Amino acid sequence: MPELPDVEVYLAALAPRVLGQPLEAVRLASPFLLRTVEPPLASLEGRRVEGLRRLGKRIVFGFEGDLFLVLHLMIGGRLHWKPRGAKVPGKNPGKSSLAAFDFPTGTLLLTEAGSKKRASLHLMAGAAALAELDPGGLEVLTADLEAFRVALVAESHTLKRALTDPHLFSGIGNAYSDEILHRAKLSPFRLTRSLTPEESATLFEACRTVLTEWIERLQAETGDRFPEKVTALHDSMAVHGRFGKPCPVCGTPVQRLVYADSEANYCPGCQTEGRLLADRALSRLLKDDWPRTLEELEARKRR
């Protein structure tokens, strides 16, 4: 799923292409995409884009007349910039074309990988209506340390759960939470209310540094082009998507826990004092059969 840095890069690429431009037409290829009825989508045609912003992981187009088009890419949604009037491609194996937005400068295509049709489009009238789509999470890049600490301990969760909860923190998802926790040298399963003031300050700085670094890195890689290969997997990440590979800091093999539709990637050497983590259900199931350290894991592999 595109997260805060990815959405910011999309916004930077969209700004010179659509700001001040009228939306000439919207072509929906999937009736499942649009989640609102009023105002009608056709009411946008001819209106100029007056602003672009991020709302959590959503992309918001602000139009004349206090109308807001809100796009949530979810897991498989991606944007593509094409020549004006480009046709909406037919169905490809594993990918669907959902919509085309025509501007004088070009056409913005929305596609989605997979078949679950999770991406969504809302048209909201007025700032109050737009606010209904805001999960309310803290914007870490503009917050201060005290606001961060308040959000962090608002509920008792693991750090991984807290960072990825859009009601607590805005725009941080599975990939960058792994990178943040590795930078802070904190276990993803530490409880939020167990952190010392020094550890919460370290986590705050890790959030700001990792997110800022990745925004700058992705923008540098994209340049003036439109970002066409938005992914949560990057070779230069420290732990996310690098299961079994050496940690760039200490060389320990990166470990992971997979649960539901998500996963936690971490370095035992940097984050858990060499201990291997297990989720509660797995721990109950395996009991004493779960290896506690990397040394135990390697010994079992040799049996």
Rounded CA-CA distance 82/105 in Å is 9
| Domains, the chain, with CATH or none | 4-131 (3.20.190.10), 140-301 (1.10.8.50)
| C-alpha distances in Å from residue 45, one per residue of 16, 60, 70, 161, 301 | 19, 16, 15, 41, 62
Decide the pairing of beta strands 120-125 and 67-72: antiparallel
pLDDT tens figures, 38-87: 999 999 999 999 999 999 999 999 999 999 999 999 989 999 999 999 98
Placement of tokens 């003036």 in the chain: 224
pTM for the complete prediction?
Answer: 0.90
pLDDT tens figures, 264-275: 999 999 999 999
Cβ neighbours around 116 below 10 Å, total: 11
Cis-peptide into 248, omega within 30 deg? no
List per-residue pLDDT tens for the chain, 303 residues long.
899 999 999 999 999 999 999 999 999 998 889 999 999 999 999 999 999 999 999 999 999 999 999 999 998 999 999 999 998 877 676 678 899 999 999 999 999 987 677 899 999 999 999 999 999 999 999 999 999 999 999 999 999 999 999 999 999 999 999 999 999 999 999 999 999 999 999 999 999 999 999 999 999 999 999 998 898 889 999 999 999 999 999 999 999 998 766 789 999 999 999 999 876 544 443 344 444 555 554 444 444
Give yes or no for a contact between 128 and 155, defined as CB atoms under 8 angstroms apart.
no
Cβ neighbours around 274 below 10 Å, total: 14
The alpha carbon dihedral of 89, 107, 122, 75 has a sign of positive
Rounded CA-CA distance 241/220 in Å is 22
